[in-house]
Each structure stands twice: as C-alpha cells, then as structure tokens.
Amino acid sequence: MLSPTPKSDAIITLISASFRKKLGICIRNLAIFTVITVSYSGVHQAYQLALATQEAGLLHEFRCSLYDAPGKWGGLLSRIAGPEKLRSRRLAGLDPSLIREHPWPLLAKVLRDRFNSASREEWLQANDAFDRWSAAQFAARPAEAVIGTETCALHLFNAARRSNATTILDCPQHHPDFLHRLLSEASDRTSLPLPPALKHSPMLERTRREYDLADWRFTFSPQHSLGFEQAGYPKDRQIEIPLWVDTNFWHPLTPSLSSAPSPPQIHLQTSAFNVQSSEFKVQSSPTPHSPLSTLHFPPPHLPSPISGAQAPLRLLFAGSITLRKGIPFLLEAVRQSGVDYHLTLAGPVDPLMQPLLPQADPRIRILPPHSKSDLRALYQSHDLFILPSVADSFGFVALEAMACGLPALVSENCGAPVPSPEWRVRAMDPQHLAERIAWFASQRDLWPSHSIAAAAFAAGFTPARYRNQVARFLTSHLPPS
C-alpha cells in the first residue's frame, strides 16, 4: 500500500471539498436536513463555521459585518485600504451569494474610536446593533438553526427561540464565574488587584443570557468546557472542538528537510482530544496517518537558533502582558531557573503589570504588539515559547509558535494542545515552570528534533480538520427538517 504524500493529500482534499459542495447543494435543494444561519459581527471562528456549514450543505445564510469579495462592502474597503487590512474578512471557498453584510455598526465604532481611544475595548453598542439587525433578518428569513458567537447573539437567539429554532453558541471565552475563580487565585498569590473587566458589566450579563439561550455551546478543550459544567450546564451540551493554525502562513524559517546528519531522536506522546457530546465523539489525533506516540521525527534542515551550549536561552511570550496570561509567574520562573536567558515579551502592557517589569534588566525586553509577519519572524528567532496562562480557553499563539518550529511550554489552564506531557506546566507554579525551562536548556542537542516535533504536531490542526468536526456535529445532531 502506497503511503500518502503531501501532493496526494492535497488532491484528496480538493476532491473531497468538491464532492461535499455538490452534495451540499443537493441536500439543500432537497431540504432533507436543517438549514442553518451563521451570524457574527466580528471574526473569531465565524467564517470557518460558515464554511463548515456550507460544506455540509446546510448553510442558509452567513451574516457578517464585512466580507472581502467583489460586489461586497468588504471588497470595496479592500480596494481602498488594501487587502491586508481585510485579511481576516475573507475565506477561500465560502460562497459570496450566501453572505449578507451589515457594516454600519462596525464602521460607526471605528469612527468613534478615532475620536475617543478609551472606547476601543467597548463593543456592547456595536454588537447589540448588529445583533438586532440579524434578529430582524431572521424574522424575515427564518432558518431551522442558528450559530452565533457570544456577546453578539442575544436578540438572534430570542428570535430563534420564538420560532423553535435550534441555537448554537460559539464561546471564545471561559465562563465568567470560572474565570473569576482562577483570577482570584492568581490575585491572591501575587497580591495584585483583579482586572476591572471581571466586575459586573452589561456585556457580562448579556453573555450569561446568551449561554442560557443556547441549546449547544462550542468549546475548544476539556478545561474550557469545565467552566460551563461547573456553572450547571449539562456536560453533553458542550461540544469540544480544538481550533486550528494556518500552516501556509505560520511555518519554520526553512520548512524543507534534507539528509543532513540526524540529531538525537526524541519520542513524544500526546493525549487525543475528545470532541464529544452524549453519543457524539471524535478522536482527533494530530495527524491522520502517524500518531505522535510512535513518530520518529526526521532530521530537520533548520538552522538551530541555539548557537551553542553557552548561548543564552532565548525565551518568548506573545500576547497581552497581564495577570491573566500569567506574566508574574513567568518573571519569577526565569529568575528561579538558574539558566542564562534572554526573555522577550511582545504585546500590550497592562498598567497593573508595569511595576513588576524590570526597567533596567538587559535580559528582558518588552516589545509592542506585532503584525502577523513580524510575529512569525519572532517565533523563528527564539528557542522556546512560553504561554503560562492563568486562564486561556485555547491560546492560538502556542500553536502558531509550534507551527513555526518553536517548542512551547504551555500551562495546564490553557486549552492549546501540546505533543508531549513534558511541554505542559502547572498553572501559577513558577517553580515547576522554572524546572521545565532548565530542562529545555539542558536539552540543547535535542533542539532540532524538538523543533521538528513542534511543527509536525501543529500541522495536524488544520482549518479543514476543524470544519470537518463541526460538520460532523451538525449533520449528526441537528434534527431533520
């Protein structure tokens, strides 16, 4: 039996996508299954959810603020501002004829923010306006199920309930009670105040009401689901589907392999993610052909960022520099590690963190938020990525870093998968994190193999894999029309 190759995999994927699209048109025309509306003013997973629904033959309509395509408002803005500005507002394969835009709440917010920078984090007004429009559209053109995203689905879900439509909520964030408990513990351990966002707010109350109105909730990991279970939502109503990384963009500096002398082999293990609800279960191994528990990674043709045994270990964190991301524990861990290091923190700095950040330590540099291209270059020029989150429903940056060939240490409170238990650290435990940093520093001869292991593992989490799992849930759990 011939082994699959990247080229053959690509051909199979193309054929499968074409077949799914034709089958979907037939199913939609025959009205055998439920038709679904997907709606969200922002990005998150909405575009991939819309394409997954379309590929399953179930998409009734995708409602968004902007979509970059000819004849759309997003296409016009793309021509004016440049396609890079609308990069996240387009997706190959999504049928523009099934897309309805409502750009005005978003554009009004952008204009308001130009005159009042303090309002940039305030999305309640814009999301509510979009949501009311989407609910009115539903009343005019109802569907049998709706997929919304938290903070922007309250009115749509109320309209859907009045029509006895099924409601599915994509939940990018932790349940607020779960998040509050974790951050309260972090606050106690560090003597830092709780973030103001955790206090009572209209947006939080709106989100709670959306949770209650949802028949199903999409989550990204067991830890993400746990918060909803502890809040009293039935366990079988959380649908765990890990997210993805775009390896066409996030990749090692030199992705090709050669027959260069092989570095020492490493053997990694991974626990499979269960995507499940009641009888629905998907075992999502990272790659369809070779479980990581048995992989022997080939020698990489990659220039190791570690220049020698005496070189400082180059550590990287990317994201908001906050208590929630575990920055106080990271700073303490590098001090305890006993290794020679350079630490880069790239992201916006929470004012509450400012007193903790060393002002004159040459080993620590703080950089502003980076563009995607610049962030990729950062990943490619460091030795170890660290995501010590107190609470992260997923943590895209960890998969991005691994896709770029950067080994990662990720906390147990972060939903991002890792290829080995040795890459997972206890949350809010600087001593354990320090031990793992020191362990990586002692494994410098294994760095090339760790790099290949990271990239190979991340490559299994593709957008197509995510969409296939969403489609499997939709076709197996929603009632026939």
Helix (H), strand (E), coil (C) string for the chain: CCCCCHHHHHHHHHHHHHHHHHHHHHHHHHCCCCCEEEECCCCCCHHHHHHHHHHCCCEEEEEECCCCCCCCHHHHHHHHHCHHHHHHHCCCCCCHHHEEECCHHHHHHHHHHHHCHHHCCCCHHHHHHHHHHHHHHHHHCCCCEEEEECCCCHHHHHHHHHCCCEEEEECCCCCHHHHHHHHHHHHHHHCCCCCHHHCCCHHHHHHHHHHHHCCEEEECCHHHHHHHHHCCCCHHHEEECCCCCCCCCCCCCCCCECCCCCCCCCCCCCCCEEEEECCEEEEECCCCCCCCCCCCCCCECCCCCCCCCCCCEEEEEECCECCCCCHHHHHHHHHHCCCCEEEEEECCECHHHHHHCCCCCCCEEEECCCCHHHHHHHHHCCCEEEECCCCECCCHHHHHHHHCCCCEEEECCECCCCCCHHHEECCCCHHHHHHHHHHHHHCHHHHHHHHHHHHHHHCCCCHHHHHHHHHHHHHHHCCCC
Between residues 195 and 442, which one has the greater pLDDT? 442
Average pLDDT over residues 52-72: 97
Q: Look at residue 48 and tell me whether its pLDDT is greater than 70.
A: yes
**In this predicted structure, what is the pLDDT of residue 305?**
52
> Could you report the per-residue pLDDT of 430-450, keeping only the tens digit for each?
999 999 999 999 988 999 999
Q: Look at residue 144 and tell me whether its pLDDT is greater than 90.
A: yes
Distance from the Cα of residue 442 to its chain's centroid? 31
**In this predicted structure, what is the pLDDT of residue 451?**
95
Average pLDDT over residues 276-303: 35
| Stretch among 2-11, 137-146, 250-259, 388-397 having the lowest mean pLDDT | 2-11
Q: How many CB atoms lie within 10 A of CB 196?
A: 8
**In this predicted structure, what is the pLDDT of residue 388?**
98
**In this predicted structure, what is the pLDDT of residue 116?**
84
Homologous superfamily of the 27-244+463-477 domain (CATH): Glycogen Phosphorylase B; (3.40.50.2000)
**In this predicted structure, what is the pLDDT of residue 340?**
95
Tokens of 207: 């989100």
Average pLDDT over residues 179-199: 88
Q: Look at residue 395 and tell me whether its pLDDT is greater than 70.
A: yes
> Could you report the per-residue pLDDT of 317-345, keeping only the tens digit for each?
999 999 999 999 999 999 999 999 999 99
Q: Look at residue 253 and tell me whether its pLDDT is greater than 60.
A: yes
- The residue ranges of every structural domain in the chain are 27-244+463-477, 302-458
**In this predicted structure, what is the pLDDT of residue 84?**
87
Q: Look at residue 347 and tell me whether its pLDDT is greater than 70.
A: yes
Question: Please, what is the end-to-end C-alpha distance for the chain in angstroms?
Answer: 42
**In this predicted structure, what is the pLDDT of residue 102?**
98
Q: Is the dihedral of CA 234, 236, 239, 240 positive or negative?
A: positive
| Stretch among 228-232, 301-305, 336-340 having the lowest mean pLDDT | 301-305
**In this predicted structure, what is the pLDDT of residue 471?**
96
Average pLDDT over residues 409-414: 97
Average pLDDT over residues 128-134: 98
Confidence of residue 314 (pLDDT cuts 50, 70, 90): very high
**In this predicted structure, what is the pLDDT of residue 98?**
97
Contacts of 71 (CB under 8 A, 6+ apart): 96
**In this predicted structure, what is the pLDDT of residue 309?**
61
Average pLDDT over residues 60-70: 97
Q: Do domains 27-244+463-477 and 302-458 have the same CATH topology?
A: yes
Place of tokens 């709606």: 39
Does the structural domain 302-458 have CATH classification 3.40.50.2000? yes
Confidence of residue 100 (pLDDT cuts 50, 70, 90): very high
Between residues 261 and 161, which one has the greater pLDDT? 161
**In this predicted structure, what is the pLDDT of residue 237?**
97
- For all residues of the chain together, what is the average pLDDT? 84
Between residues 5 and 403, which one has the greater pLDDT? 403
**In this predicted structure, what is the pLDDT of residue 393?**
96
Alpha carbon separation from 395 to 48, 153, 256, 322, 386 (Å, rounded): 17, 23, 27, 14, 11
Highest averaged pLDDT of the listed ranges 11-15, 80-84, 351-355, 399-403: 399-403
Percentage of the residues of the chain whose pLDDT score is greater than 90:
72
**In this predicted structure, what is the pLDDT of residue 357?**
87
- For helices 327-336 and 176-190, the axis angle rounded to 10 degrees is 40
**In this predicted structure, what is the pLDDT of residue 277?**
38
Between residues 194 and 436, which one has the greater pLDDT? 436
pTM of structure: 0.83
